[in-house]
Amino acid sequence: MNPYHQDNFEEAFEHLRLATSLLGKHNVAPSPINYRVGYDYVAGKNQELNAALDKLVGQSEELTAEQLWILYQQFFSQDAITLEKIRQELHHIIISVQGAVERSSGNLSVYTHTLNRFAQILDPSTPLNAVASEVQKVLDDTRSMEQNQQRVESEISLVLAEVESLRKDLEKIKEESMMDALTGIPNRKAFDAALEQAVISAREQKSPLCILMIDIDFFKKFNDTYGHLVGDKVLRYVGAALKRCLKGRDMAARFGGEEFTVILPQTSLIGAGVIAEQIRNAISMGSIKSKSNGRYYDKVTVSIGVAQFRDNELPNDLLQRADKVLYIAKENGRNRVEKAL
C-alpha cells in the first residue's frame, strides 16, 4: 500500500516542504531514504518513529544520515515489505497464467470437437448444404481459436514483463541490503559473505589471501570536537580513499563504527603490506575542508592490521589475528601498519 495515497496535493506539498526543511536544518541530504523518514515524521504517520527521532534530537542537536538509515531499517523494514509485495504479485501472476491456460484448454477442447465432427461429415453421402454449414462453423471456430490464442500470448507477454520487473526489484533489494548507506561501500553483511567465499577459494586453489583491519585514529575526537556531521564526513572520506586504492577483485567494506576491512584475494602478506601502506598514505596525505568557513579539519589517519590466511583457518580466526595486530599498531603510536606473523 502506498503510504502517501491519502495525502491530497496541498497536504503532500506542505509535508514535502517541512521534510526538506527538517533535513536541511540538520545538513542531511534529501536522499529517498532520508526523505521517507522525514516525510513520515512531519506527517505524523508513525508515532513510534516520531518518538524515536525526537529522542535522537534530544540526545544530540544534530541528526546524521546513519541515524536516519537505522530508523529507516527499524520502522519501514523495506526488505520485508517489498519481498511480501513481490510474493503477492507472483501469486497473482500464477493465478492469471493458470486462468489463461485453462481458458485456452477449454477453447481447444471445443475446437477439437468441431474438427472431429467436420471429419465425420466429409463423406460422399453427406448433403452439400450440411457440409457448407460445417465448413462455416470450422472457419468461425478457427478464427475464435486464433483470437483466443492471441489473447493468451498477450497475457503471457505481460506476465513475462512483470516477472522481469520483479527480478529487477529483487536485484535492487539485494544490492541495497549489501551496501553501507553512509559510505557507499559494502557493509558487514556483504563482507562476511565475501570473506567466506574468499576463504573457500583460497583453500581450493591453494592461493594466498590477506585481509586488512582498518581503524580511524582518534575518531571520537572528531565527533566530540566538530559534531557527528563531520564524523560522517570522515567516514565517507575513508570509504572513498579505500575505493581509490583498490582494484580488481579486492574489496573494501565498512565493518562497523569507525572500522573498515579489506579482502585481498591472491595477495601475499608482503603484497598486502604494500597495499596497506598505500591506503594509510592516501588517507593521511589528504584533507577534509569545511564548506562553511573554508578551514581544514584535523588530519585523518588510520591504523591497519594485516593478516594472511592459514590453511584450515576459519574466517573468524583470520579476523581475530588481523584485529589483534591492528591494536598493536594503535599501541605503537597509530598511523601505522602492523602485520601478523
Same domain, 69 and 89: no
Q: What is the tens place of the pLDDT at every residue in 264-320?
A: 999 999 999 999 999 999 999 998 988 778 888 889 999 999 999 998 899 999 999
User: Based on the domain organization, do 246 and 123 belong to the same domain?
Assistant: no
93 and 169 within one domain: yes
101, 49: one domain: no
Which residues 6+ apart lie within 8 Å of 88 measured at CB?
none
Lowest mean pLDDT among 49-53, 145-149, 288-292, 302-306: 145-149
Q: What is the per-residue burial (b if ≥16 Cβ within 10 Å, else e) of 172-185?
A: ebeeeebbbbbbeb
Identify whether residues 282 and 327 lie together within a single domain.
yes
pLDDT in tens, 117-130: 555 555 555 555 55
Average pLDDT over residues 145-165: 64
Query: In this structure, are 287 and 298 located in the same domain?
Result: yes
The enclosing domain of 229 has a CATH number of 3.30.70.270
pTM attached to this predicted model? 0.58
Same-domain pairing of 71 and 83 = no
Q: Determine, yes or no, domain membership for 182.
A: no
Give the pLDDT of residue 3: 46
Residues 193 and 325 in one domain: yes
- Residue 90: phi and psi, rounded to 5, are -65, -40
Q: 114, 143, 177: which is the final residue of a domain?
A: 177
φ/ψ bin of 290: left (φ > 0), alpha (ψ from -120 to 50), beta (otherwise): beta
**Residues forming the active site:** 258
Domain assignment present for 3: no
Based on the domain organization, do 59 and 128 belong to the same domain? no
Whether residues 213 and 302 fall in one domain? yes
Domain hosting residue 211, numbered range: 188-339
Q: What is the grid cell recorded at 91? A: 501469486
Q: Residues 221, 155: contact at Cβ < 8 Å?
A: no
Inter-axis angle of helices 65-76 and 78-121, to 10 degrees? 50
How many Cβ atoms from other residues are within 10 Å of residue 24's Cβ? 12
Number of structural domains, the chain?
A: 3
Q: Which residues pair with 45 in a beta bridge?
A: none
